[in-house]
Structure 1
């Protein structure tokens, strides 16, 4: 019996882990049972799930799925996408792929209906051969025949693979520890100075040691070689950046500043005579705006003072002041750049270079000081002009155009760096050979001490044993395919296509079906084969309605459960959404077919229920799965004859992947869509739920519209009241709120008139506010009913403080 499944990559499922998502409220992992009901909205992943089961039925995955990866876990082992032909248990799946493969006529008048046969007249000789082949095939459950031998060999192969993997991992760990391990790994041994050493390097060294028959060095020789590594090479030093002097450009700017001529519109002589007084007045001007007395002496200010000062400090003088401030800031930036110049630290040079390095550093320091003095002179001229803004001076140059020797000092520093790096290269070349010899000596000792050759030989022996077991398993699998082909050939001798069509008609003509459709088997002219036609009365039927297509397809599937391949077995049955386009009468008809011909317990010829050896009822199926998106059909499924073990699941879309979980209590316990819609609105009261339940937010407009239509109709059932009036009655005189609800339910339910809304993300915060508004109105109008709604979905009050 199938218990659970993991889906790493298949259709809408990506990284689904059963043990993570399928949990009871108390934390226990749920499992598939004898009967399993799955509910999910359209595009939630139900059909994708059915295709996994159908892959085991037909022996291959759908071609349009790239790199499928899934694992079905049973009570006796597991099946993967690599074992589609060997699971043993017959599986019969009804889904859209089944319909497309067998009933292309339903979507194309030029298509066909795949004929099938049930057992015909008795043929003892052929039946004895069939039983003989079945005995040869045997079963894993009864521990007989080829299937049992296959699974035993598969177990031996798996155990052998485990041994090879364990020993290989142990060897790889030993190699990793030697190459990368802390402490003791070659990578972390400063003697070898190789921080990038890894297992690949170690394997290359082992191959080199073995091919050149290198032995471990004598300890005295090893110590002598280590002593030759006394001088440790230093890391290379990057060259210093080139220096470009800015003195010339700054000279040009300050000469222009000093010589720029400006005149006040109405000069004040006292301010012209005293730069200190002028600066004091300039600084005080903004402090006396809108004041009528002096902030310093508290004396009244002349009414025309502001205009008088503005005429003295005109726009030209203010622009020049701003230009001077920018120049002074640039001088400070240049000073900062000069401060940052310097040689690398002494310990980055070899000791023999220290004196030269110090000499160059003194030269550089003196040059930097000269450069800074030049900057001081330039700044001084600018400040003097600032202090006496109306006094221009004709200058040609303030300081000589020079870098004060900085460039020369840096050039000498780069020459010293070049010499140091060359010294490093010479040391590295001589010491590299010593390090290689010492490292290879350690590798040779590791090979000898670890018995590496013996370990590899042992693993190789185990690998050969694994290959032999794999070959034996493949031979058993091939033999099994031959026997299954022989079985199908023998069963074909008992085929009766006419009875196959009659079996379909039996289901189509069920007393509750109410259809005039029937299947007719016609022998093809000149061939020993049949073709099936759909008849309406005596005429071939074309242009079937969607409901009729669904009925024919499902009745055809039921009849196939009695074909020669399935007869006499207890298959795993998977029925995916059989009522996607049916009306309520047909929905009940499909339910009665499932109940009458699949779900009911088997009875004997005397009408009493059959019992197995343990005294339990006998069913037609080994395990039954039924999935649907229709809440009415879900309601009927709760009336099915159920075995002792039943479980119900919810298939949903979470973010970018489908998921399976145990069905919530409200779906298990209640059969009305109103409870479900209330739960969807309740989910949307917290926009944080949008990450895990985005489909609820996306469908909010539809769900809210349907909920309010049903809920308010029962509250205000008068036929003279339309939906808009019911909204007004329930939500009161808040016209804006009613208009907002009408807009949201319409715009979020349709796109033909609101195409732009389909191009922007859903506003989850707005939806959360709306959901709370609706629940708040329900709580205010009828708190008792509101609490019962919450209880029906086993949820807390999102409006509680």
Structure 2
């Protein structure tokens, strides 16, 4: 059970309330009395927080409290979720939350309403329907990326597959949307699949569409004899032949030299006696001299030059008509044709550079013979880079031929590999160019939210099915609700019926009520609360529940107040609960709190048999009976501050609130209306309440305001101007404003006693009831 509230801070009128040590602990049963706006409902809300196991930090962000349980456990705002007991609270919040009205039902011609869980469920159903509608609209309005992405599979992939098949593979392969979709992976893979090198892409495309109709090419060696020639020329130009017979004309003219040498040989071989050129007789001695001339070292050296030049000319002719050039690009695989063609076009430059070196060597030989036959020479420096270029060119051609041969030999596997690469390239480039992966990303985001919305829609629809079933179940229990309403209102003609759409509607007799009074609203809400508790009792859980009831008699008259008191006295205290002692009256709760601003209701509760019944405590010294019900008073000590204290003995001893109010007024006036009087802040409300009861006692038939009844009692109300002014304050908050009126309380109290002096017997009786002497007010 709850033992005490140690402190409350920053919670409505409980700015800084703290248990003063003199306050009694809470008992099994607890009555709490306090005037309007003193803090009763605020206190009940603290119990509601314990019921919900959650404090309202939105409305009260700085709320602090400490509740001490009987085992010493301390519950605060930080650990309220661990509150160990079940609590049920009835207060104005419960009425607001559990009684909800719809607009007037034209068909029923009455106002329909919901009670209890219906009041909670129907808004939940409507909220779920609204959410479902909005969620479906969001799904519809946020599906553009999904629709755009789906166009790929719906049509774009089919069209692109057709282009790849027909335009890129010349219809040599089968390729459709399904083939394309199988090649889709991640964006990173797509980027890596794109072939950016133009040369490689050209080759792969050619390999992909080529036919296997080529023969292998015989790869030969293509030797370069330049180094050998250079070595021979170095030796050649370095020779210095001995001079023998001189033939000046022949020594200085190589053409003549060659012509004469050839002529001598021809004439000897043909046995000619006459010169074939001039027809003159050949002189034998001349032929002998010429043969001697041509057989000496110089002549032999000239013959060597002829051989060297012939070798150079042979090298020139060999590379001018190199066999490679006899090959056509069509002899090669399609993927290599372009490269081979580039090489053949490049060869003219390669050959020209190489032939330039050979021709330079020829000039060196010819210069030796013509100008330096008998003088040794050194070979000048020659740029050999053209040779390196020629060697590379030959190697590049051979590499093309080797690649061609490999393609021919491994045609099918190479083509399959090329086609795979080309397909991936084409598909990946299409996906990147068309922003496929961006559409996919946006589509997946939309689908994610669609899944969330659809999950919520399914959950909300399932909730609504459950709620609808619960509505039918709740309305089916209207009999229990009617039973309590009839008990509260003490009328047999009041009953609740159920509409076809599971709303409630109030009927008075056979007539549908078009409006509900505040008292009827309270009765309906409190009836539902009692139905809830009755359900707990049937489940055996009420005995474990703390119950807090705040002002269940709002807007009800004395007859109804007595009826509710009787119901509380009988509902919460029953026989037949203890199987060992069926006649024993058992408290059907763990702990009970009832608060009210109505002194009559408080008096009924205080004097009810079962509430004032004592409890037996067994101690080592024996069994003792002690009170099981404590009474407390909530008092406003400042405009914005209230405290909880033990019920004042004066109030507890009086049977009437009226006498208690008079005692407060009397004591306040006896203290010279001191602002230090502990009841100073209560006096405006006490005066007004006292005057209200007094004038109604004197004039029960006058239904007007206080001043009209005072005027009827004493005539000219203007004699009591201050009192007249105070009588028009209809709320406690107005009377406690910091204005000039609160400072004139002595005048107000004097007016009260002046009024009572007109009814001395009543005045004297009041003073006698509180054991006080009569004040005599001396008017100026």
User: TM-score, normalised to structure 2's length?
Assistant: 0.44
Query: For the pair shown, which has the larger CA radius of gyration, 1 or 2?
Result: 2
